Amino acid sequence: MRYKEIAGDVQRRVEAGEFAAGRLLPSEAELARAYDASRVTIRKALEELRHDGLVDARQGFGWFVAADPVRQTLGRLGTIEAQLEATGAVAERRILDFGFVKAPRRVRLHLGDDQVLRVRRINLADNEPFARVTVWVPERFGRVLSRDAVSAQPFYELLPVALGGATQTIGAAAASAEDAELLAIPVGSPVLRCERVTHDTERQPVLVSEHVFPAHRSEFVVELPNVEVDDASIAPSGLRLVD
Amino acid sequence: MRYKEIAGDVQRRVEAGEFAAGRLLPSEAELARAYDASRVTIRKALEELRHDGLVDARQGFGWFVAADPVRQTLGRLGTIEAQLEATGAVAERRILDFGFVKAPRRVRLHLGDDQVLRVRRINLADNEPFARVTVWVPERFGRVLSRDAVSAQPFYELLPVALGGATQTIGAAAASAEDAELLAIPVGSPVLRCERVTHDTERQPVLVSEHVFPAHRSEFVVELPNVEVDDASIAPSGLRLVD
DNA sequence: AGTGATACAAGTATAATACAAGTGTGCGAA
DNA sequence: TTCGCACACTTGTATTATACTTGTATCACT
């Protein structure tokens, strides 16, 4: 059963990235020489991989890797919740506190309001905390929100406006004593700190939130679609030096 | 697939401004001689670029750079260097080492090559280090790069392909002993760690790089234009839980 | 059934060539 | 000066040839 061996080996090589995605594999003739097998056997192996969707071929063109196996895993990811559920984990939101407060300076700068609803909570996956989140909502929206509603539904479903996008700032920091306890990590260990301003379709800010993630459990994936800005030489685009 | 290579190279040259907007490109015959390809192949490459709106041609006149060569919004945030220079700071790249190495596993997964050029360097602003960068380049590109070239120009100007985008992963970590010394920060203090895979217009990975920034000096700004995925309730989009 | 060897059909990319048709330039004639 | 035209050079298009690829079939051997 030589063709199964060969199929396995080629599959391994494809998945190891030896043949980059979308690019050509060696021709059947070359593979036949390399594996010291006949073209019939090589074809049988390749056709098995084609059936699995790993590679494909066009007559007169050649064999190529069908889809980037690496990219597939990073692929488009839905919400964190959906991703968690896909893996069978149980997502939970635990509200720490809920009430109106005087807006911190940077929140007031965005929302304008002086009084805002502040909701602090912990997000858990499979009973393990993976984020500490604080959300500030303008008073006019906050008045109609209840603690129960907030714990049951995402904010974006509760707000009476259509959301148009967001700007988020990602930084690193050392875990504060409080965050460390809430997230069950050592004080001072690295965390990802993300501040987000969500705005409606008119680009009016409607939500300010801060998210803190333990570094060992989370990372961001950002797609930079058109590279105009891209200069691998300097720094990832979007980076900003502060102070 | 010679014509795709040529298309990529011409695109790069156009975007690098080698042929000013509205000016003529070399004639098909000249290009054929320069690339040592037939006119058919050159035309196929140019027609691909025409289809993308980058260039156009008139019979009897020649090929020219299209009116607006899709010079997309470089506006938002220029390169870090430009930003630094705008504030009067002096940007500098200091090369730590430059040479061919066996590709680490995750680099090989993306680039396919086993032997890659690795360039490590420190980026400084006003003599203060703000990033430690490692870049891995496939052997076929690395062979034509010199240490001097790399220190003088950004990679994206040196690679003979047109870049099409990138995927970057942002995480937090504690500074290793070496990074701490290079960046002049305490060992174990939080750093932003960014891994980027830059690909060409065919979505073929051409560059893998790792960027480490001291947390106190840097943060990422990400625009989330359309919110579909956005759930302020859960987590910033693009977040991924690891392990 | 699996494998090898061979042959041929059909598709693809490229090269070489030819010719039609449009554009710009320079020169000579009016 | 200005018009007209040949000339060189350009892209647009087509044809032919070649080398290489996959697709498919056949026959033989174990």
**pLDDT on residue A175:** 92
How far is it, in rounded angstroms, from Cα B222 to Cα B127? 27
Residue B104 has pLDDT above 80, yes or no: yes
**pLDDT on residue B236:** 38
Q: Give the distance, in angstroms, between residue B44 CA and nucleotide C2 C1'.
A: 44
CB contact set of B196 (below 8 Å; sequence gap of 6+):
A232, A236, B166, B167, B168, B169, B207, B208, B209, B210, B211
**pLDDT on residue A222:** 63
**pLDDT on residue A20:** 63
CB contact set of B57 (below 8 Å; sequence gap of 6+):
B46, B50, B63, B64
Q: Which of B11, B226, B227, B239 to mutate to probe the A interface, most A CBs <10 Å?
A: B239
Q: What does the angle CA B120 – CA A235 – CA A179 come to, to the nearest 5 degrees?
A: 100
**pLDDT on residue B98:** 93
Q: Tokens representing A155?
A: 């904010």
Task: Work out whether the CA dihedral A66, A71, A77, A80 comes out positive or negative.
Answer: positive
B240–A77 CB contact, under 8 Å: yes
**Which range has the worst mean pLDDT, A53-57, B121-125, B217-221?**
B217-221
Length of chain B: 243
Question: What is the pLDDT averaged over residues B220-234?
Answer: 45
User: Cβ of residue B64 near strand C, that is under 7 Å?
Assistant: no
User: Cβ of residue A45 near strand C, that is under 7 Å?
Assistant: no
Task: Work out whether the CA dihedral B214, B218, B219, B220 comes out positive or negative.
Answer: negative
DSSP structure string for A27-78: PHHHHHHHHT--HHHHHHHHHHHHHTTSEEEETTTEEEESS-HHHHHHS---
How far is it, in rounded angstroms, from Cα A12 to Cα B95? 36
Q: Are B232 and B211 in contact (CB under 8 A)?
A: no
Per-residue pLDDT of chain A (243 residues; tens, 9 = 90+): 889 999 999 988 887 767 765 567 999 999 999 999 999 999 999 999 999 888 989 999 999 887 654 333 333 333 454 455 555 566 688 899 999 999 998 899 888 888 999 999 998 877 888 889 899 999 888 888 888 888 877 777 777 777 766 777 788 889 999 999 999 999 999 998 888 888 877 778 888 989 898 887 777 766 655 433 333 333 334 445 444
Greater confidence, B220 or A145? A145
Chains A–B, number of C-beta pairs less than 8 Å apart: 297
**pLDDT on residue A97:** 92
A20–B112 CB contact, under 8 Å: yes
Residues of A in contact with B80 (CB under 8 A): 234-235, 239, 241
Question: What is the pLDDT averaged over residues B29-53?
Answer: 93
**pLDDT on residue A232:** 30
Find the closest chain A residue to B128 by CA distance. Answer: A241
Length of chain A: 243
Q: Are A212 and A132 in contact (CB under 8 A)?
A: yes
**pLDDT on residue B242:** 46
Q: Are A188 and A174 in contact (CB under 8 A)?
A: yes
Q: Give the distance, in angstroms, between residue B39 CA and nucleotide C16 C1'.
A: 9
Q: Are strands B128-138 and B115-125 parallel, antiparallel or unpaired?
A: antiparallel
Most confident of A109-123, B188-202, B203-217: A109-123
SS3 string, B25-87, reads: CCCHHHHHHHHCCCHHHHHHHHHHHHHCCCEEEECCCEEEECCCCCCCCCCCCCCHHHHHHHC
Domains and CATH numbers, chain A: 2-72 (1.10.10.10), 80-229 (3.40.1410.10)
Q: Are strands A239-241 and B218-224 parallel, antiparallel or unpaired?
A: antiparallel
Residues of A in contact with B204 (CB under 8 A): 20-23
Q: Give the distance, in angstroms, between residue B13 CA and nucleotide C14 C1'.
A: 24
**pLDDT on residue A77:** 32
Q: What is the mean pLDDT of chain B?
A: 78
Burial of residue A77 (CB within 10 Å: 0-12, 13-18, 19+) is middle
Beta strands in chain A (DSSP E): 55-58, 62-65, 91-102, 115-125, 128-138, 163-174, 190-200, 205-214, 218-224, 239-241
Which of these, B226, B95, B238, B241, lies nearest to B155 by C-alpha position? Answer: B95
Q: What is the pLDDT of residues B140-177, one digit of tens each?
A: 888 888 888 888 777 777 777 777 667 777 888 899 99
Chain C bases near protein Cβ (<7 Å): 2-7, 9-18, 20-24
Q: Tokens representing B34?
A: 């320069």
Which of these, A232, A14, A25, A18, lies nearest to B108 by C-alpha position? Answer: A18
Q: How far is CA A181 from the centre of its chain?
A: 25
Q: Are strands B218-224 and A163-174 parallel, antiparallel or unpaired?
A: antiparallel
CB contact set of B60 (below 8 Å; sequence gap of 6+):
none
Burial of residue A25 (CB within 10 Å: 0-12, 13-18, 19+) is buried
User: Cβ of residue B39 near strand C, that is under 7 Å?
Assistant: yes
DSSP structure string for B88-129: T--EEEEEEEEEEEEPPHHHHHHH--SEEEEEEEEEEETTEE
Least CB–CB distance from B172: residue in A20, A133, A191: A191
Torsion of CA A96, A98, A102, A103, to 10 degrees: 70
